[in-house]
Amino acid sequence: MSITQLEADAQAAEGAPEQAIEGRSQWQLTWRRLLSDKVAVVSLIIIAIMVALAIAAPAFAALTGHPATTAYPNTGESAAGLPVGPGTNGFWLGTDGTGRDLFVRILYGARISLFVGVVTTLIATVAGVTIGMIAGYFGGVVDTVLSRFVDAVLAFPYVVLALALAVVLGPSLTVIMGVIAFFSWAGISRIVRGQTLSLKEKEYIEAARSLGAGPIRIMFVHILPNLLAPVLVLSTLYIPQAIIFEATLSYLGLGIQQPTASWGNILGDAQNFYQQAWWYVVFPAAALLITTLAFNLLGDGVRDAMDPRTERLFAAARRRKADRARRKVGKRGDLPAASQPGEA
Amino acid sequence: MAIVRFLIRRILTGAVVLWIVATAAFFLFFARPIATVAHQLAGRAATPQVIAEVTRNLGLNQPILVQYWHFLDKLVHGNLGFSFYTGQSVNQMIKQDLPPTVSLVVGGVVLWLIAGLGVGIISATRARSLFDRFSAVAVLIGISMPVFVIGELLLLVVFVPLNQHGFHWIQDQYAGPSAGIGTWIGHLILPWITLAAVQAAIYTRLTRGQLLDVLGEDYIRMARAKGLSERRVVFRHGVRAALTPVVSQLGVDVGQLLGGVIVVESVFGLNGIGQVSVQAIYTDNLPVIIGFVILAAAFVVVANLIVDLTYAILDPRVRIA
């Protein structure tokens, strides 16, 4: 789609030589391709709305008059002490198990989820890229030690260990983010190492070295920019993973603690009420799913925009299909030309 | 001969990994103020003497290295110690809690392989078709869904309405196959679906990607050129080569999952390895935690070993060295 558009642009430029040809960097091209991808744009908009809602959480708390951690035993619970449904007594999405405003709590949960998702991914990316680049660039003993370490982190029964760390260090936001980052960097590191291994053999690296550039300069000035594309794609896809990880820890009661709201601990509490209060499960689950889905779709969009090769793969598949159709016609004997021996 | 040497080396490295995991777990948890355990055991109004005695009975008053030595000594004799609270042996607890976890994993694997491989193969052979697009959306939803959300939604939309209308076949909690195959399936069908949903999404994506790559290779064109049927090209030449990474992923996943499917077990109250180890973590039940962590790591190590061996069988290019 965008490629044909670019071709059209190029033809237009050829037809009108007085029109200056605009130079576009790789990133500009990527951005344009991304914007022409409807799914990616919708995901971006959804994420923007989520971020806006998360930032505006206190405003909504003021608007509804229900702070996130205040329980309303009189208006927020039925006579039997159960949560009240959406729209009752001014609770837009109903209340939770202790009579707090579910809508406001979901908004505050969005703050935690988005913050944890983005910040842990940043930490994991910086650590993963640095370690992967060092391992790949220096090779030898450094590589062996770092790679074995990466293997160990990837091989550990990480859910149990993450839970254990959360308990030992006491569940807090910092600990949770540390734990998630600790179990996320290794995957990034492994990929970065592989890329660095092939990049460092390139001629321009040799040229930089012969000009007297040190290892630090070569790694951060010459290799890093070429790693940004795969790393960006990977990090976008790690954000939803981190969000799910946090939600899971909080769901098990080992993450964000009450009364602070997080989507995970809301859903954990909701488990005691799912028979009586569907909204208690459905709304936080929907918020979580919409957010992770938007990030995953955006990640796929970024990958497609960065790597037009996937598009070419499909073009190849289409060609094969057309070939096959032609062969079928050939089998009927109408077109004997295709099966001439020695032609392939 | 080569294979014997390979096995010996792998078993030795596996033992080292297990030792590292066990040691890490031991010291990690020892760092916690163990006094809380003695306090809880000694009861509400315990005198300091009682607490001291409880601590001594549990062996928690000895220096950490002495305790570590006792722990290792018992470990090499295959004794994982005893629960602080019930005095039950950890080996016994594992025997008791393993069946729900194994049932869950086995059924889940069957479901997710059927779904993942089936959809993946169809998507790859019909790339960019309507089916492929739908499956891509389904895969994304599966990947974006935390396991416990799927579980809770299944409880909400399947379990609750069915039971309200007097249809009691589908249940939560665990019932062994000895209670009747029908009951067993009824109790596990929702956990299986929950576990399989996320995994099937990952396997669909993996199978599709691998098969697409393989189908672009020259030898596939060769197979087509010599006039093989499309079915034979895809299954005999394509799928077989594409499966190698899928098999290795399967081994790693099964190894990880046998160590406890914490979330699914917690959602459905299955009382398997995962749920019991989380309870042990809540209560600082050190021997149980370490025992279960070692068990989980052992599953991972063994699974990796099996994967490497299968690799050599599936892909003749891989040499065991």
The percentage of chain A sitting over the pLDDT mark of 70, rounded to a whole number, equals: 81
Provide the pLDDT for residue A139: 85
**Least confident among A194-208, A279-293, B22-36, B290-304:** B22-36
Q: pLDDT tens digits, chain B, 321 residues: what are they?
A: 677 887 888 888 888 878 887 888 788 776 665 556 666 666 666 677 777 777 777 777 777 788 888 888 888 887 777 887 787 888 888 888 888 899 899 999 999 999 999 999 999 888 778 888 888 888 888 888 888 888 888 888 888 888 888 777 777 777 777 777 778 888 888 999 999 988 899 899 889 888 888 888 888 889 889 988 888 888 888 888 888 788 878 888 888 888 778 888 888 888 888 888 888 877 778 788 888 888 888 888 888 888 877 776 766 665 554
CB contact under 8 A, B260 and A160: yes
CB contact under 8 A, B141 and A313: no
Please report which residue ranges of chain A form alpha helices under DSSP H. 2-15, 26-35, 38-55, 57-64, 102-138, 140-155, 158-168, 173-182, 185-199, 203-210, 215-217, 224-251, 263-270, 278-306, 309-331
Q: How many whole angstroms separate alpha carbon A111 and alpha carbon A252?
A: 19
pLDDT in tens, A12-48: 555 545 556 777 777 788 888 888 888 889 999 999 9
Provide the pLDDT for residue B114: 94
Q: How many angstroms away from the CA of A39 is the closest CA of chain B?
A: 11
CB contact under 8 A, B140 and A293: yes
C-alpha of B1 from chain center:
32
Q: How many whole angstroms separate alpha carbon B212 and alpha carbon A310?
A: 10
Model confidence at A54, pLDDT cuts 50, 70, 90, reads very high
In chain B, which residues have their Cβ closer than 8 Å to the Cβ of A163? 262, 278, 281
Model confidence at A115, pLDDT cuts 50, 70, 90, reads very high
In chain A, which residues have their Cβ closer than 8 Å to the Cβ of B304? 155
Which amino acid, residue A211? L
Q: Which of A247, A264, A296 sits opposite B140 (nearest CB)?
A: A296
Q: Which of B140, B216, B281 sits opposite A297 (nearest CB)?
A: B140
| More confident: A168 or A46 | A46
Provide the pLDDT for residue A342: 36
Determine the residue of chain A that is closest to B300 in CA distance: A155
pLDDT at A314 over 70: no
Strand-pair partners of B82: B89
Q: How many whole angstroms separate alpha carbon B55 and alpha carbon B43?
A: 13
Q: How many angstroms away from the CA of A329 is the closest CA of chain B?
A: 14
Rg (CA), chain B: 24
CB contact under 8 A, B153 and A281: yes
Provide the pLDDT for residue A168: 74
Greatest Cα pair distance, chain B, in angstroms, is: 87
A-B C-beta contacts closer than 8 Å = 121
The percentage of chain A sitting over the pLDDT mark of 90, rounded to a whole number, equals: 20
Q: How many angstroms away from the CA of A63 is the closest CA of chain B?
A: 29
Model confidence at A318, pLDDT cuts 50, 70, 90, reads low
In chain A, which residues have their Cβ closer than 8 Å to the Cβ of B231? none
CB contact under 8 A, A163 and B148: no
With beta carbons less than 8 A apart as the criterion, state whether A155 and A147 touch. no
Which of A176, A193, A99, A87 lies closest to A142, judged by CA? Answer: A193
In chain A, which residues have their Cβ closer than 8 Å to the Cβ of B147? 248
Provide the pLDDT for residue B321: 43
**Mean pLDDT over the full length of chain A:** 80
Provide the pLDDT for residue A11: 56
Provide the pLDDT for residue A340: 37
CB contact under 8 A, A160 and B259: yes
Provide the pLDDT for residue A49: 95
Which of B153, B185, B156 lies closest to B171, judged by CA? Answer: B185
Provide the pLDDT for residue A53: 93
Q: How many angstroms away from the CA of A217 is the closest CA of chain B?
A: 36
CB contact under 8 A, A314 and B127: yes
Provide the pLDDT for residue A92: 78
With beta carbons less than 8 A apart as the criterion, state whether B115 and B204 touch. yes
Provide the pLDDT for residue A319: 63
CB contact under 8 A, B143 and A275: no
Rg (CA), chain A: 27
Determine the residue of chain A that is closest to B299 in CA distance: A157
Q: Which of A157, A278, A295 sits opposite B256 (nearest CB)?
A: A157
pLDDT in tens, A171-186: 788 888 888 898 888 8
The DSSP code for A150 is H
pLDDT in tens, A324-342: 666 655 544 444 443 333 3
Model confidence at A304, pLDDT cuts 50, 70, 90, reads confident
Provide the pLDDT for residue B11: 83
The string of DSSP codes covering B237-272 is IIIHHHHHHHHHHHHHHHHHHHT--HHHHHHHT---
Q: How many angstroms away from the CA of B185 is the closest CA of chain A?
A: 22
Determine the residue of chain B that is closest to A152 in CA distance: B17
Q: Which of A160, A288, A316 sits opposite B277 (nearest CB)?
A: A160
Q: Which of A163, A289, A295 sits opposite B149 (nearest CB)?
A: A289
Helices (H) and strands (E) in chain B, counts: 15, 0
pLDDT in tens, A59-110: 888 888 788 877 887 777 777 778 887 877 778 788 887 878 889 899 999 9
Determine the residue of chain A that is closest to B158 in CA distance: A275
Tokens for B162, please give them.
């069915």
CB contact under 8 A, A314 and B289: no
Contacts of A163 (CB under 8 A, 6+ apart): A249, A252, A254, B262, B278, B281
Determine the residue of chain B that is closest to A293 in CA distance: B144
Global pTM value: 0.78
Provide the pLDDT for residue A327: 63
In chain A, which residues have their Cβ closer than 8 Å to the Cβ of B216? 313, 316
- Interface probe with B: pick from A106, A159, A190, most Cβ of B within 10 Å: A159
Q: How many whole angstroms separate alpha carbon B194 and alpha carbon B142?
A: 10
Model confidence at A120, pLDDT cuts 50, 70, 90, reads very high
Provide the pLDDT for residue B118: 92
Provide the pLDDT for residue A108: 92
With beta carbons less than 8 A apart as the criterion, state whether A202 and A222 touch. no
Q: How many angstroms away from the CA of B242 is the closest CA of chain A?
A: 16
Q: How many whole angstroms separate alpha carbon A106 and alpha carbon B138?
A: 25
Q: How many whole angstroms separate alpha carbon A235 and alpha carbon A150?
A: 18
At A328, give phi and psi (nearest 5°).
-60, -40
Tokens for B238, please give them.
């394509």
In chain A, which residues have their Cβ closer than 8 Å to the Cβ of B10? none
In chain B, which residues have their Cβ closer than 8 Å to the Cβ of A264? 146
